[in-house]
Amino acid sequence: MQTLHLNRRIYICRKRQKKMLYTLLLIAGFAALIYGAHLMIESASSLARRMNIPNIVIGLTIVAFGTSAPELIVNVFAAVNKNPEMVMGNVTGSNIFNILAILGIAALYNPLMVNRQTTWIEIPLALLAAVVMLVMASDVFLDQSATMVISRSEGIVLLMFFMIFLAYNISLSVKGGNEDEVPSKDYTIAKALMFLALGLGLLIAGGRAIVYSAVELARLAGMSERVIAITIVSIGTSLPELAASVVAARKGNVDLAIGNVVGSCIFNTFLILGASATIFPVSITPAANLDLMINIVASILLFAFLFTGKGRQIDRWEGLVFLSLYVGYISWLLMA
């Protein structure tokens, strides 16, 4: 009896040690991922400027792709390792966090006025992305299939949607003559190449560490990879968007605050999910239907709130509604 008790204590102790180790690895992975993305953006922007590449191109390619690099790298590794719950959970979790949490926090700092173009084109496009993702995942209902999966062909369709969105942004920038300076460090070519390689290395190492540690933590805690992805992983990979939007809101640059979030949601669905499904088909569990519906509800609320109160504006009370919904949703996930 004493031997059994001792063995149980040893088992519990080892399990706690493993949880601590994987938690530290997860934190280190996030740090490497976020700093790597920052380093890559700065070095690539500096290199592009030395090659006389226009600011429009730098902003729409290097900076835009760089801010989505954390989600992209994590999902690529999850797809390669055949962790579909991690892939889907990170995409839907990031989109839900972007709208309900980031915009909620930003609106509490400063009511968010939304321009006409964002109201009638970009936010509806984000809603379309959410609906497309739900339709692609509805094989059981639409085709009476035994499983739900986003196939490689559907992944390619998502990437085509992304190319259309990218072309729209390029035409918009050229039409508007937007030549605003994209802030970056003034590195020599050799130094820029070195930091670019270092940033890419940190991205890869951080992405691998996050996927591995998150999967192991899910197993040790008896939770699904989906819940870990929607909570810890999606929040961690969305930290750059959170920082950018909150700083923009505090400075009164509300166009940047909301544009950053809406653009990220479109990138997540069309580019990141599309690339992940192209690498390996993403199978979807029945529980993920709730996440897909919450994603659509969040997008609908964002659009609806633009027509309440004083017009195209997200007020502080609406930001509080967003935050309350997010806290309630995450609390329900963890308790369930």
* Domain harbouring 144, CATH code: 1.20.1420.30
Q: What is the pLDDT of residue 283?
A: 92
Are 202 and 32 in contact, with CB atoms under 8 Å apart? yes
pLDDT over threshold 80, residue 198: yes
Mean pLDDT of 108-137: 90
Q: Model pTM?
A: 0.87
Question: Residue 61, exposed/middle/buried by CB under 10 A (0-12, 13-18, 19+)?
Answer: middle
Inter-CA distances, 102 with 73, 106, 117, 124, 290, Å:
21, 6, 21, 18, 20
Q: What residue numbers bound the domain in which 272 lies? A: 2-335
Q: What is the pLDDT of residue 63?
A: 63
Confidence of residue 76 (pLDDT cuts 50, 70, 90): very high
Q: What is the pLDDT of residue 179?
A: 47
The count of domains in the chain is 1
User: Which region among 40-44, 97-101, 180-184, 248-252 has the lowest average model confidence (pLDDT)?
Assistant: 180-184
Higher pLDDT, 94 or 56: 94
Q: What is the pLDDT of residue 56?
A: 52
**Token representation of residue 139:** 């094989």
Q: What is the pLDDT of residue 61?
A: 59
Please write the tens of the pLDDT for every residue from 281-315.
999 998 999 999 999 999 999 999 988 877 788 99
Q: What are phi and psi of 89, to 5 degrees?
A: -65, -40
* Alpha-carbon span 81 to 152, nearest angstrom: 16
